[in-house]
Chains A and B, each alone.
Chain A
Amino acid sequence: MSCAAKGVGPETVVDYCAGTLDRHAAREFEQHAAGCPDCEHALARQQQLWTLLDSWDDVPLSADFNRRLYQAIEREEGVSPVRRYARLAAARLWPLSWRPLVPLGAIAATLAIALIIETPGPRLSAPPPDAQVKSEKLDVDQVESALDDIDLLQKLSDASPSAM
């Protein structure tokens, strides 16, 4: 816009189209634009822009669109070009993702642990009787106390020495 008229500039055209000019200024600009091809052209283009903006319909976006957009930008900026191309090539060559392998591995590990824990091994078998005798520590005091009791009970017997 190259209008040389005093007090008329691009902002006048924008303000007129936006309806922010006062009535007097708006009438003066209309009178000027009617005789000024340059301003008339600028006004026509500005009105066309406003018409386009008015006809614009918002595209619905997901709630986390901005977050994912910025994350994607950050990832792309942080990944080296070599790795980026390698990742793209791997994605094309290997259609399966590695993610399904994680639960499969966990299931296999759980099965293995369950079998190891519940399988009775030789460690669970009872030791031979001789080993039991050898390993157990005999409470000799308790044995002698029990023998004392038996001796005592024998005094109740008719054949005990005091019964004679």
Chain B
Amino acid sequence: MPWLLLFCVIAGFSTDLALAGEKRPPKPPKPPKAERPIEKLEKMTPAQRQKALERVPPERRQNIERRLDHLDKLSPEEKARVARFRELSPEKQQAVRQAVNQMTNLPPDRQRSVRSELRDMRGLPEPERKARMNSAEFRGRFSPHERKLIEKLSDVVPD
């Protein structure tokens, strides 16, 4: 039994010595979130994209490549909107999808009014946006349905 105790103590001590004596590389910082496939593709060079998509059926691959090219050409504001959308929870993303689809069902002039309102909200801090949506002027300009749409869509309005 004393040998067993001595062995355990020395084993632990020697392991500590081995760990302390070794110059271990610092752990790399963990990424905040796992990168989505679309984000990986965005960061790739055209050659890397081609390599990543080489097993996709040709027609489907060309469609993806075309849309990726279009994504590269988005304006900074549109890219910021996409970035905000990606930060949302899955539930809120689904709410935004529904709101966009419902907005496209509005008459064209009402669509323009909603877009105009969303554009005016850009750069406003969250409290000011809420105050604006609670104002009597806002309530007078939009129907309850439109106000709900704008409230949901304000989640993807760039700061």
Is A2 in the interface zone, CB < 8 Å from B? Answer: no
Query: Which residues from chain A contact B14 at a C-beta distance below 8 Å?
Result: 107, 110-111, 114
Interface locus among A13-21, A34-42, A82-90, A115-123: A115-123
Chain B residue total in the interface (Cβ 8 A): 50
> In the assembly, what is the distance between CA of A134 and CA of B115, in Å?
42
> In the assembly, what is the distance between CA of A158 and CA of B78, in Å?
10
Is B25 in the interface zone, CB < 8 Å from A? Answer: yes
Grouping DSSP codes into helix (H, G, I), strand (E, B) and loop, the A interface class, with mixed when no group exceeds half, is helix
Q: Are B36 and A163 in contact (CB under 8 A)?
A: no
**Known contacts A153-B85, A162-B111; A119 and B38 CB within 8 A of each other:** no
How far apart are B55's CB and chain A's nearest CB, in angstroms? 8
Q: Are B6 and A151 in contact (CB under 8 A)?
A: no
How far apart are B120's CB and chain A's nearest CB, in angstroms? 12
Given A147-B71, A155-B104, 19 extra CB contacts under 8 A:
A102-B3, A103-B6, A103-B7, A103-B10, A110-B14, A110-B15, A114-B15, A133-B48, A134-B51, A138-B40, A139-B37, A140-B37, A143-B37, A144-B60, A154-B74, A155-B100, A156-B103, A157-B75, A158-B115
